[in-house]
Amino acid sequence: MSEKSYRDAIRDAMMEEMDRDPNVLIMGEDIGVYEGTFRITAGMLKKYGGKRVIDTPIAEAGMVGTAVGMAMLGLRPIVEMMTMNFAIVAADQILNHAAKVRYFSGGQVDVPVVIRGPQGAGVQLSAQHSQTFESFYAHFPGIKVVAPATPADAKGLLKTSIRGRDPVIFLESAALYGMKGEVPDDPNFTVPFGVSRVAREGSDVTIVSYSRMLQMSLIAAEKLSQDEGIECEVIDLRTLRPLDLEPAYASVTKTHRCVVVQEQWKPFGAAAEIAASITETVFDELDAPVARVTGEDVPMPYARNLELLATPHEQHVIAAVKKVMYANG
Amino acid sequence: MADVIMPKMGDAMTEGKVIRWYKNAGDAVKKGEPLLEIETDKVNLDLEAEQDGTLGDVAAAAGQMVEVGGVLATILAEGEKAEPKRVAPAAAPAKEQDSKSAPDSAPSRRAIDKKDSIKKSTGEYGEAIDMKAPRIDRTAPAANVVAMPQAEGGRRRSSPLARKMARDMGVSLEEIQGSGPGGRIVASDIKNFKPAAAPQSQKPKAPALPPVQQLETKDIPLSAMRRTIAKRLAESTGPIPHFYVTAEYDVTNLLALREQLNEIEGIKTSVNDFIVRAAALAIRHHPNVNASWGDDAITQHGEVHIGIAVSTPEGLITPVVRNADEKSVSDIAAEVRSLADKAKNRKLMPNEYQGSTFTISNLGAWGIEQFTGIINPPNVAILAIGAATAQPVVIDRQVVIRDRMKVTMSCDHRVVDGALGAEYLRTLRSYLEQPLRLVL
């Protein structure tokens, strides 16, 4: 174990996998000479050379299309998006090609491509560069959607992504890059897809979240414990496709109350899917409707004060927890 | 141009009152939009526009009584001009009407329950009504809405967990006060619920006196409902020669049976539900009490529809349990509860309070031991049920305590003679004193 930042954990995962498998390569905008806009790829061009660390033109559809072709022929490309917002340009390559080639080929051809990059608000990048995409991608069969909340999970899940057979959308939280945490040093450490974890144990309310909102939920849970004596159980989903809600069902069976926290807009979001599944599966255990904490339904403002107002805050989680507890009306 | 007329909402209706207009003269109206609220002698209703257009002159102002078939307003199609102002014919005692405005042509007019209009409501109207009421899908034509969903009115909100806990603990949600939003029963309400102590250990508290009211001299305007009650009951005691027969029944077994049935999950019955069934079954033996007086003939009814007198803040109304002789006690119980709830909220539809063939009035809950009812025409008999009280009685030369209940039958002597009334009460005794007959 050593203490690493989320950023370094991602770089470590990629470099360990490039050391392990010569078919792994990375391509993206400004990832080589410039070492990445968020400095994720620092030192990689020097170590692996221009054939495995490829600077591309500003052409996301081209990058992903190239990577899909590489993957079909046996390579294991990682595509870094400067932000995941830019991957919209490549949506056809991702959703209509990467996600469907195995199906169209009758199972003969895999597309083991990882498309990764930062997303989300909190760093004042305004409306076009602050969006979150988990529900957008998780809607489609044929791709995996990963959203780690800790440095260790970022590393373990990225290694699983690179080693797997499937196209993976790997969503990093821009606001978590500097976050530090204990990360196993073992080069064979991986975290499997579709295994949620209990990030905090509690008996009163279940909070279900992922990525940066998981960290915020943990802060809210500590405050609720100290100020109100309410003990929240916090579930970290880690991956949205596959989605493992078994620990959430078990937790709701214990607490009978549930709050789902997501950063994205409320309509048709991940929280809606999660809340509906909980209601379908453990309906008789619920003592209150499942509550959702989400971002405001507006394009993300640039101004710091407005950005704060438009994104979920721990106070929102606290209020939602009290609501499902029938506390304070 | 189309006239908006006072609809006939039941055979007994001769007039209706305009409560308020949602639209004013000159307003554009759309087909299906509520135009005004009317009050009939039993219910309040919204009348809808039957075509697009502009509301022409309003012939009846709020508060005005209008006879059935009277014009309330006109709807002008595009380009049409209002005719000289017309005034709605004021309500007058029902009399011969010419065929054009005969009320018989009116029943096809759509009149809808108030809540039907929620999805069509806008602006002020939307605010004026209770938007918190349960939403009901009204895509079906409103005129065809006959039975409201069973849950209406009687439904109590509860969380799924609370329901599960109540099932597991054998607690009825009916007994529990909900503390959640909108009175929702939540888990803590079940956990904190203390079942009422067993009757013998419970010392009954003396009932509090009703609140003392400020005494003042004032006129209370007659509501349409109060007018109807007065008219019909005066019509009853005047021309109908009443006579009364009273019997006292031993209902110890009946009360025990009811207690046993109520121990079954999901069943909740009152003593009156048993009486309704008993009265209905007894009618099968004496169909001549299930009749109506006519000038040329006595009509004996082929079906047994029991009217139940229900007291509401506005006055008395008698919702009807149809074919009560064919229904189980628990079915009757559920139906009576639902009807009583609707009656209290003035939501009864005409088909729910019309067409009784026999009536039961029960003042037992008020502790009244015996009284006489006034026949509810066109019925020819009514049963007045008193409270069951524990009495010392002599059985096999021993004094024992039994539960006794007095029932008085008012009969229309034109149809029911004394002996017939007595025979009916004797048959009723067999059902009430050997109550297993009621569940056979």
Burial, A98: exposed, middle or buried (Cβ in 10 Å; 0-12, 13-18, 19+)? buried
Please check whether residue A6 is in contact with residue A179, taking contact to mean a CB–CB distance below 8 angstroms.
yes
* Per-residue pLDDT band at B154 (split at 50, 70, 90): low
pLDDT at A147: 98
Tell me how far CA of residue A303 lies from CA of A124, A132, A315, B48, B405, in angstroms: 7, 18, 20, 51, 79
Return d(Cα B381, Cα B379) in angstroms, integer: 6
Do residues A208 and A274 share a domain?
Answer: yes
Return d(Cα A306, Cα B233) in angstroms, integer: 70
Mean pLDDT, residues B179-183: 85
- The residue that leads in pLDDT, B13 or A10, is A10
At residue A43's C-alpha, the angle toward residues A41 and A49, to 5°, is 95
Type of residue at A233: E
Specify if A329 maps to a domain: no
Contacts of B187 in chain A (CB under 8 A): 256, 287
Burial, A257: exposed, middle or buried (Cβ in 10 Å; 0-12, 13-18, 19+)? buried
Please check whether residue B75 is in contact with residue B51, taking contact to mean a CB–CB distance below 8 angstroms.
yes
Distance from CA of A294 to the nearest CA of B (A): 22
ipTM value for the complex: 0.80
Return d(Cα B176, Cα B174) in angstroms, integer: 6
Please check whether residue B394 is in contact with residue B409, taking contact to mean a CB–CB distance below 8 angstroms.
no
Specify if A272 maps to a domain: yes
How does pLDDT run across B284-316, given as a tens digit for each residue? 998 889 998 887 888 889 999 999 998 888 788
Report for A1-15, B12-26, B34-48, B419-433: range of highest mean pLDDT: A1-15
Specify if A189 maps to a domain: no
Could you check whether the bond before residue B199 is cis, i.e. omega within 30 degrees of 0? no
Tell me how far CA of residue B424 lies from CA of B287, B409, B431, in angstroms: 9, 9, 11
Return d(Cα B15, Cα B13) in angstroms, integer: 6
pLDDT at B196: 65
Query: How does DSSP assign A83-101, residue by residue?
Result: SGGGGGGGHIIIIIIITTH
Contacts of A285 in chain B (CB under 8 A): 160-161, 164
Q: In chain B, whose CA is at the least distance from the CA of A286?
A: B161
* Boundary (domain end) residue, out of A126, A152, A183: A183
Do residues A151 and A9 share a domain?
Answer: yes
Do residues A159 and A235 share a domain?
Answer: no
* Residues 6+ positions from B324 with CB-CB distance below 8 Å: B276, B277, B279, B280, B304, B305, B306, B332
B125, pLDDT greater than 60: no
Residues spanned by the domain of A251: 197-324
Please check whether residue B34 is in contact with residue B341, taking contact to mean a CB–CB distance below 8 angstroms.
no
pLDDT at B148: 31
- Helix-then-strand count for chain B, H and E: 10, 20
Type of residue at B432: L
Which segment of A158-162, B5-9, B110-114, B162-166 scores lowest on mean pLDDT?
B110-114
Say how far residue A239 (Cα) sits from the centre of its chain.
7
pLDDT at A131: 95
Tokens describing residue B218: 């004032």
Specify if A191 maps to a domain: no
* Boundary (domain end) residue, out of A183, A208, A234: A183
Residue A288 forms contact with B (CB below 8 Å): yes
Return d(Cα A150, Cα A13) in angstroms, integer: 13
Type of residue at B92: A
pLDDT at B108: 36
Specify if A188 maps to a domain: no
Do residues A115 and A49 share a domain?
Answer: yes
At residue B154's C-alpha, the angle toward residues B150 and B158, to 5°, is 105
Number of neighbours of residue B330 by Cβ within 10 angstroms: 18
B142, pLDDT greater than 70: no
Please, what's the largest Cα pairwise distance for chain A? Answer: 62
Do residues A9 and A38 share a domain?
Answer: yes
Distance from CA of B195 to the nearest CA of A (A): 21
Return d(Cα A11, Cα A22) in angstroms, integer: 16
Beta partners for residue A80, in sequence order: A28, A116
Do residues A72 and A125 share a domain?
Answer: yes
Residue A203 forms contact with B (CB below 8 Å): no
Type of residue at A236: D
Residue A7 forms contact with B (CB below 8 Å): no
List active site positions of B: 413
**Are the beta carbons of B163 and A284 separated by less than 8 Å?**
yes
B368, pLDDT greater than 60: yes
Lookup result for tokens 């065929």: B99
- Helix-then-strand count for chain A, H and E: 13, 14
Please check whether residue B301 is in contact with residue B271, taking contact to mean a CB–CB distance below 8 angstroms.
no
Please check whether residue B135 is in contact with residue B143, taking contact to mean a CB–CB distance below 8 angstroms.
no
Assigned CATH class of B224-439? alpha beta
Do residues A120 and A232 share a domain?
Answer: no
Contacts of B180 in chain A (CB under 8 A): 288, 326
pLDDT at B179: 87
Beta partners for residue B110, in sequence order: none
Phi and psi for A41 in degrees, rounded to 5?
A: -100, 25
Which DSSP letter does residue B147 get?
S
Angle between helices A211-228 and A314-324 (to 10 degrees): 60
Nearest to A286 among B160, B179, B188 (CB): B160
User: Which B positions 154-193 lie with beta carbon below 8 A of chain A?
Assistant: 159-164, 179-181, 186-188
Tokens describing residue B437: 């007959």
Beta partners for residue B76, in sequence order: B54
Which DSSP letter does residue B101 get?
G
Please check whether residue B90 is in contact with residue B40, taking contact to mean a CB–CB distance below 8 angstroms.
no
Please check whether residue B308 is in contact with residue B274, taking contact to mean a CB–CB distance below 8 angstroms.
no
Strand, helix or coil for residue B121: coil
Mean pLDDT, residues B262-289: 90
pLDDT at B88: 56
Task: Please provide the CATH number assigned to the domain covering B150-192.
Answer: 4.10.320.10
Burial per residue of A106-136, b for 16 or more beta-carbon CB atoms within 10 angstroms, e otherwise: eeeebbbbbbbbbbbbbeebeeebbbbbbbb
Please check whether residue B91 is in contact with residue B14, taking contact to mean a CB–CB distance below 8 angstroms.
yes
Return d(Cα B125, Cα B114) in angstroms, integer: 11
pLDDT at B45: 81
Query: How does DSSP assign A17-30, residue by residue?
Result: HHHH-TTEEEEETT
Q: What's A317's domain CATH number?
A: 3.40.50.920
Do residues A40 and A173 share a domain?
Answer: yes
B87, pLDDT greater than 90: no
Burial, B163: exposed, middle or buried (Cβ in 10 Å; 0-12, 13-18, 19+)? middle
Which segment of B52-61, B158-167, B352-361 scores lowest on mean pLDDT?
B52-61
Type of residue at B198: A
Say how far residue B304 (Cα) sits from the centre of its chain.
17
Q: How many domains does chain A have?
A: 2
Burial, B146: exposed, middle or buried (Cβ in 10 Å; 0-12, 13-18, 19+)? exposed
- To test the contact with chain B by mutation, choose from A254, A284, A287 the residue with the greatest count of B C-beta atoms within 10 A, namely A287
Distance from CA of B182 to the nearest CA of A (A): 11
Do residues A162 and A71 share a domain?
Answer: yes
pLDDT at A268: 96
pLDDT at B113: 39
Do residues A33 and A179 share a domain?
Answer: yes
- The residue that leads in pLDDT, A182 or B208, is A182
Q: What's A56's domain CATH number?
A: 3.40.50.970
Type of residue at B155: R
Tokens describing residue A259: 């709050």
pLDDT at A166: 97
Return d(Cα B225, Cα B42) in angstroms, integer: 6
* Per-residue pLDDT band at B234 (split at 50, 70, 90): confident
B139, pLDDT greater than 50: no
Output the average pLDDT for chain B.
Answer: 78
Do residues A251 and A160 share a domain?
Answer: no
pLDDT at A251: 97
Residue A227 forms contact with B (CB below 8 Å): no
**Are the beta carbons of B186 and A287 separated by less than 8 Å?**
yes
Please check whether residue A162 is in contact with residue A76, taking contact to mean a CB–CB distance below 8 angstroms.
yes
Query: How does DSSP assign B174-195, residue by residue?
Result: GG----SGGG-B-HHHHHT--P
Residue A284 forms contact with B (CB below 8 Å): yes
**Are the beta carbons of B161 and A326 separated by less than 8 Å?**
no
Q: What is the β-pairing status of strands A168-173 and A114-119?
A: parallel
Return d(Cα B7, Cα A7) in angstroms, integer: 76
Domain boundaries, chain B: 2-144, 150-192, 224-439
- The residue that leads in pLDDT, B131 or B17, is B17
Give the global pTM. Answer: 0.53
Residue A16 is a catalytic residue: no
* Boundary (domain end) residue, out of A157, A183, A209: A183
- Nearest in space to A321 (alpha carbons), one of A254, A246, A225, A210: A225
Return d(Cα A100, Cα A68) in angstroms, integer: 11
Residue A256 forms contact with B (CB below 8 Å): yes
**Are the beta carbons of A256 and B179 separated by less than 8 Å?**
no
Please check whether residue B215 is in contact with residue B303, taking contact to mean a CB–CB distance below 8 angstroms.
no
B116, pLDDT greater than 70: no
Residue contacts between A and B (CB atoms, under 8 Å): 28
Mean pLDDT, residues B343-359: 89
CATH of B2-144, picked from 2.60.40.10, 3.20.20.80, 2.40.50.100, 3.50.50.60, is: 2.40.50.100
Strands (E), chain A: 2-5, 24-28, 53-55, 76-80, 114-119, 144-146, 168-173, 180-183, 197-200, 205-209, 232-236, 239-241, 258-265, 291-295
Query: How does DSSP assign B303-331, residue by residue?
Result: S--EEE-EEETTEEE--EETTGGGS-HHH
Distance from CA of A282 to the nearest CA of B (A): 9
Type of residue at B60: A
**Are the beta carbons of A326 and B181 separated by less than 8 Å?**
yes
Please report, rounded to a whole number, the percentage of residues in chain B having pLDDT higher than 70: 78
Do residues A177 and A202 share a domain?
Answer: no
Per-residue pLDDT of chain A (329 residues; tens, 9 = 90+): 999 999 999 999 999 999 999 999 999 999 999 999 999 999 999 999 999 999 999 999 999 999 999 999 999 999 999 999 999 999 999 999 999 999 999 999 999 999 999 999 987 889 999 999 999 999 999 999 999 999 999 999 999 999 999 999 999 998 899 999 999 999 999 999 999 999 999 999 999 999 999 999 999 999 999 999 999 999 999 999 999 999 999 999 999 999 999 999 999 999 999 999 999 999 999 999 999 999 999 999 999 889 888 999 999 999 999 999 998 64
* Residues 6+ positions from B79 with CB-CB distance below 8 Å: none
